[in-house]
Amino acid sequence: MKYALIGKKLGHSYSAAIHNALNASYDLVELTEEELPLFLANPSYEGFNVTVPYKKSVIPYLHEISPIATLAGSVNTIKVKDGLLYGYNTDVSGMEYMIARCGLTLKNKVVMILGSGGTSGTACALAQKQGAKKVYVVSRTGEVNYTNCPRKGVQILINATPVGMYPNVDESPIELTGFESLEGVFDCVYNPRKTRLILAAENLGIVASSGLPMLVAQAVKAEEIWREENFDDKVEELISAIARDKVNVVLEGMPSSGKTTVGKLVADILGREFYDVDEEIKRETGRTPSDIINKDGEAVFRDIESTVVRRLVKESGKVIALGGGSVIREENVLAFRQNGVVFYLNRPLSLLTAEDRPISQKEGIKALYEKRRSLYENAADFTVESINATSSAENIVAILNGLKF
């Protein structure tokens, strides 16, 4: 049996990886508006998912639509049976799973939904299903918009817009100042793993989730509709497997702490591409970091470094060795934490060297270590002792493989 995802631009979709993990034959089919009716008139699949911008466009072609899809006003799953198309909305159950996974519900809560498109309809349907106390739908030009939306009393915030999605990962749909009653922040964007909105919520100690659990749960529900089997026990396993595959392994630490050597070993073990920020700077500028610092000054070098860091960490599934001073700028930390699990390679001070490292030579290794240590610790998810490169790499891989996302 063959299944597919239809949409306009699918290059960065995770859907195939999820469905293939359930032993399904699953294609990504990009369609123009003109091609959509022909595809629906004679589908060559037993079932297919629908993504933007066609979740509403497919409805007139359906023989029957489920009650929850009617409530949401959009269809993301279609089953083909006896030549007829049956429409469902598994996004609602996916969103319900994402929120419940964090121990929360919309029942009797004041909910704010950002956006007025198809995903907003999904959130509104869930709010109605669960019995939310009050729902605010915020749009750019609506009666309730980003300049006048109420913040006091809002308990659950759901981002149903694409703001913050790859490649525009520096954007956030709203600032969290003034939301004094927030219990949970949920972002339907799943790439990057942690949007700026989610990082802001976590920084405030608010329960938060990006959209990967929703994506996986809705995909599993679609498989259950198509195949009439139960896959509930696969959801958490798939969330961790997909996250682990897509997340970057980011290595930080003092100059000469072994980031490049360990990073290459980790990349070899995992079968991933390896990138070294200092080497990327050299490749792009034709100059070494030392040369740039000595001739143009540290500030110029940091600007170049930030540009390279923010470009590299947007990608997924890489191993990235940062420069020793990449943690100095908060913008860099925010960037590499979005899609990365961050490992601080803590090498004993006695083993560090200042050779060909102008900042280490200027400030002294001990002083530089004391100055940066808290920055490394605060930015890291895990600290790994860096004495033997092989054992450090194996330790990092073991930690990564054991993570539940």
Which positions are catalytic? 55
> What is the rounded CA–CA span in Å between residue 205 and residue 198?
11
Place of tokens 């709010």: 127
The three-state (H, E, C) secondary structure of 84-124, written as one string: EEEEECCHHHHHHHHHHHCCCCCCCCEEEEECCCHHHHHHH
The distance between the two most distant Cα atoms of the chain, rounded to a whole number of Å, is: 76
In three-state secondary structure terms, 186 is: strand
66 within 8 A of 89, measured Cβ to Cβ = yes
Two tokens, residue 220 = 């599993």
111 CB-near residues (< 8 Å, 6+ apart):
123, 127, 132, 134, 135, 136, 154, 155, 156, 157, 158
Two tokens, residue 182 = 């927030």
Q: Is the peptide bond before 162 cis (omega within 30 degrees of 0)?
A: no
DSSP for 218-250 reads HHHHHHHHHH----GGGHHHHHHHHHHHHSEEE
- Which of 252, 275, 264, 279 has the alpha carbon at shortest distance from 377? 252
Two tokens, residue 155 = 């308990």
Sheet holding 64-65, edge to edge: 25-30, 2-7, 47-50, 77-81, 84-88, 64-65
Element holding 15 (H helix, E strand): helix 15-21
CA distances from 262 to 93, 208, 253, 311, 395 (A): 42, 32, 12, 22, 10
87 within 8 A of 75, measured Cβ to Cβ = yes
> What is the rounded CA–CA span in Å between residue 244 and residue 242?
5
63 within 8 A of 86, measured Cβ to Cβ = yes
